[in-house]
Structure 1
Amino acid sequence: MSENEKSLRAAVIALAGYRAGGGLSALDEIESYWRRQVEANGYIPSRAELDPRGFSRALSNCFVAEAITPRHLRLRLTGQHLSDVMGMDMRGMPLSALILPDSRPHLEQLISESLAGMTRPVRISLFAPPRFGQPALYGGMVLLPLRDEAGAPRRMLGAFATVGKPGRAPRRFRILGAGEVDRPETTATGRPALRVIEGGLSARV
């Protein structure tokens, strides 16, 4: 088994067990809050309509970003977890700074599709490869559209969380899988459904 295959297998195990350890539960909390706003109002919320008390336990994992082009987001507000993993204040920086260069086109595609009108969450499975002083790090991100004054999705409420020890900062991640989701799929044990796909991992995280 190659090192890459071992890393993907480890990612499956780490991500499948996150509910028991709560490593990525912040994604669920923020997504659930966003869904409640959509269901209550019939439309995606604006940044002004967000009430942090609705996702207070996940504040350190959340961020707010705005579109600077149809394919790029700039971070405006960031939680402490993102700063800790990157080793710097990420406010004002592009969201792509978190992602390894070979995965940035994929991120740009996801941003473009979401800003073009998707009204459901986009879940992203992440993996930071091990290097000296940096153990393998698994994580996830969710992007939730926010409407502007004209009703268009020009901002994003996001959440970022990891499983494992970050090690030496900064850490940058490869996208293992991503997609638009209605509801997180779970197995009979209550864990997220995961499936290995060609070139990476597809997961509801």
Structure 2
Amino acid sequence: MQPRIPRQSTGGQDLRAGDRDSRADGEAGLGAELAAVVAGARRRALRDGDRHIDTAHLLHSVLESDSEARAVFGEGPRLARLLGYLVQRSIGYGLRWQEGAEDSGPPRPVMPRAAAEGLSPLATGAVEHAWTRARTRGDEPPRCVDLLAAILVDPRARAVEVLVRAGLDPREITARIDAGAEHREGAANHGGAEEGR
């Protein structure tokens, strides 16, 4: 039996800390799509021997589980190159990430919706930002593309580092996500207007 590792004061929680019940309770508040992404990221982090679920794990899980998020990168070599870098993290440059927590700035409190076990501080903030995007849009719970946009906000995020290494511009990806959201909102409003006629 592994000893319980204390929670970190930075807001991040070690993957090896806590029990399954508390983890399930935390992820239940994320919404179905985000809970599935976090669960997939958790499996990958544990398999890779990483201490925390970071934004690169979340990015990998989002791309594996959501066709809308994959479509943001378009067809062809861009997505393949990005996935190649994500796969390589456990055998290459990602090894230097295993011991330290992905962090950015001063400690922040863990919000209720981001209380899933094992998230790095920056990944915790990304989950919260995804909820903020969804609330601003008047649409809850957040979708995978909300989380995709959220994990690209901080230039120090590991997800951003992977994108840059793959030759992609995080700002361009964010702009594509926002353009897609505006298109969907416009289509929904147009549909409502048609029904009112």
TM-score (norm 1): 0.27
- Which of the pair is proportionally richer in helix? 2
Structure of greater Rg = 2
- Which of the pair is proportionally richer in strand? 1
TM-score (norm 2): 0.28
Structure showing greater relative contact order (alpha-carbon pairs closer than 8 Å, 6 or more residues apart): 2
